[in-house]
A and B are shown apart, each in its own frame.
Chain A
Amino acid sequence: MCGIVGLFIKDKALEPRLGELTAQMLATMCERGPDSAGFAVYGAPESGKAKLTVQSADADKDFAGLDAALSKTLGVPVEFDRKSTHAVITVPADKADAARAAIKANHPGVRIMSAGETIEIYKEVGWPTDVSEQFHLKEMSGSHAIGHTRMATESAVTTMGAHPFSTGADQCLVHNGSLSNHNSLKRKLKHDGMTFETENDSEVAAAYLTWRMNQGMNLGQALEKSLDDLDGFFTFVVGTKNGFGVIRDPIACKPAVMAETDQYVAFGSEYRALAGLPGIDKAKIWEPEPATVYFWER
């Protein structure tokens, strides 16, 4: 089944409430995906800085001295902000790739959830409201956020198998459905240099869009292409640094409803997810059409 929520804020005055509203939306989707949950939050960028969100199953051990070790390898100070099993590491933008490589090489227990200027991804196994409280989602602010509650079908219930998946800087994808050609597509993407962390079908979709965007397409064009290349059931909600996209496969049996006001664009697997948003009574509410790209940018 799975539940998806997404909020793309148009009115800056609402940005401080991004986390609170996303948490409230996510809470309504617990039954749709009780085994794990996750969310991507796009906060304010810091000039010249990049952020890595990392996770560990044994955070006390793996995070101890991680900042000092990274600082030494990179030769610059790093900021380290731990949030439960996750931490946000901020480094100078030109050191982002080196930081990523250093973590992979020297800290095998530490997994990279996301990297970019604004994105932070948090995800864990467990009841969705517990997961959102574990990371204090309510207190986060930013321009847009995408959340997911998972009922696993195609791969194991693990932290890494939870959504969102991030396969490129400031990119993320959540998925409701199941893909049937992910294995063959994965081989092709691997051949072109894409790397994968899991056996999950949705990660292949995320990597596919990253691959397309690396070829110079924008998110909207990449989504359009995905209709030709992905086979299976999907409703995707996708985020980039300044964009927010939605697409459903041509059969469109995975539910979706959207709302738009002057203040925001919102996505929910069901109307329940939208019911608590400000001004929802006056919002334009519609079901996204099958095989149609919806895409907002700021």
Chain B
Amino acid sequence: MRTIDLAVTPLRELNSELHRQSDGTNEAQWEILNPRGQHAVAVGVDAPIKVAVRGPVGYYGGGMNKKATITIHGSAGPGVAENMMSGSVVVKGDASQYAGATGRGGLLVIEGNAASRCGISMKGIDIVVRGNIGHMSAFMAQSGHLVVLGNAGDALGDSIYEAKLFVRGSVKSLGADCIEKEMRPEHHQHLATLLDKAGITDVKTSEFKRYGSARKLYTFNIDNADAY
């Protein structure tokens, strides 16, 4: 296992080392010590490696991740796993605003709470939050899944496209064009798969409600033609 202590090694050196890894690398396990809230820790990794970050990170931790399994043993600042492509990022603590923003794929698990704008403009990423999420989450979410075991804040799913949202607790308010939808068998099945991937075994899919687009805002309606 490679251990890099950010109290000694500059961040750029760490990230260049991580960027040197590719498919089939022999250095499959990495441990990063003393991140102390630094920004851009382990961003842009493009290799199937495991990275354990021992402590809180600042902005964009694990951003743009491809293939790697990154675990942050602490809290994460704004934009954790932003634009993730594949692989997974697990945050053991809380995450600040816009967690998983614009993510294209992969799995983001937040074991604590996520703040506002979680999953904003998500495009294929799956996000599972054990705690609560803040206001304006899944704003303009295009595809992928957002699973919340706790409560959601104001304006959930405002101007949502085709992302699917599952919330177990309360939703303070729904955003424009976001509605509650029926949980059909395929949704239970898919939710069960996501919970399983996130390592969550203590909740049932029947405890969740599904939310998604009413498809009245982003699709053209001939009755509105006069408005243009």
Contacts and interface: CB of A to CB of B under 8 A. Distances in A.
Interface of A: 250, 252-253, 255, 257, 270-276, 285-287, 289-290
B203 to A, nearest CB: 24
Contact of B97 (A253, A270, A271, A276): A253
A272 B58 contact: yes
B96 A255 contact: yes
B36 interface: yes
B58 A287 contact: no
A177 to B, nearest CB: 14
Interface string B70-104: 00000101100000000000000110110000000
B135 interface: yes
Contacts of A286: 94
Contacts of B56: 271, 275, 285
Interface of B: 36-38, 56-59, 75, 77-78, 93-94, 96-97, 115-116, 134-135
B122 to A, nearest CB: 18
Contacts of A274: 37
A275 B37 contact: yes
17 contacts: A250-B135, A252-B116, A252-B134, A253-B97, A253-B116, A255-B97, A271-B56, A271-B57, A272-B36, A273-B37, A275-B37, A275-B56, A276-B36, A285-B94, A286-B94, A290-B116, A290-B134
A271 B115 contact: no
A255 B78 CA distance: 8
Contacts of A270: 37, 58-59, 77
Given A252-B97, A286-B94, A287-B96, A272 B38 contact: yes
Given A285-B93, A287-B97, 12 more contacts: A252-B116, A253-B97, A253-B116, A255-B77, A257-B96, A271-B36, A271-B77, A272-B37, A272-B58, A285-B75, A286-B94, A290-B116
Contacts of A273: 37
Contacts of B78: 255
A286 B94 CA distance: 8
A222 B115 CA distance: 25
Contacts of B135: 250, 252, 290
Given A255-B77, A270-B58, A290-B135, A275 B96 contact: no
Nearest to B59: A270
Contacts, number: 48
A45 B177 CA distance: 57
A243 to B, nearest CB: 26
Contacts of B38: 272
A287 B37 contact: no
A271 B116 contact: no
Contacts of B97: 252-253, 255, 287
Top-7 shortest CB links A-B: A271-B37, A272-B37, A275-B36, A271-B56, A287-B115, A275-B37, A270-B58
B72 to A, nearest CB: 12
Nearest to A256: B96
A252 B117 CA distance: 10
A45 to B, nearest CB: 35
Contacts of A257: 77, 96
A250 B153 CA distance: 12
B172 to A, nearest CB: 11
A290 B135 CA distance: 9
Contacts of B75: 271, 285
A287 to B, nearest CB: 5
Given A270-B77, A271-B75, A272-B58, A287 B94 contact: yes
Contacts of B57: 271
A140 B58 CA distance: 29
A255 B96 CA distance: 8
Contacts of A289: 134
A274 B37 CA distance: 9
Contacts of B116: 252-253, 290
A50 B78 CA distance: 43
A257 B78 CA distance: 11
A257 B94 CA distance: 11
Contacts of A275: 36-37, 56
A273 B38 CA distance: 10
B8 to A, nearest CB: 15
Nearest to A276: B36
A288 B129 CA distance: 18
A271 B94 contact: no
A274 B77 CA distance: 13
Contacts of B37: 270-275
Contacts of A290: 116, 134-135
Contacts of B115: 252, 287
B134 A271 contact: no
A271 B94 CA distance: 12
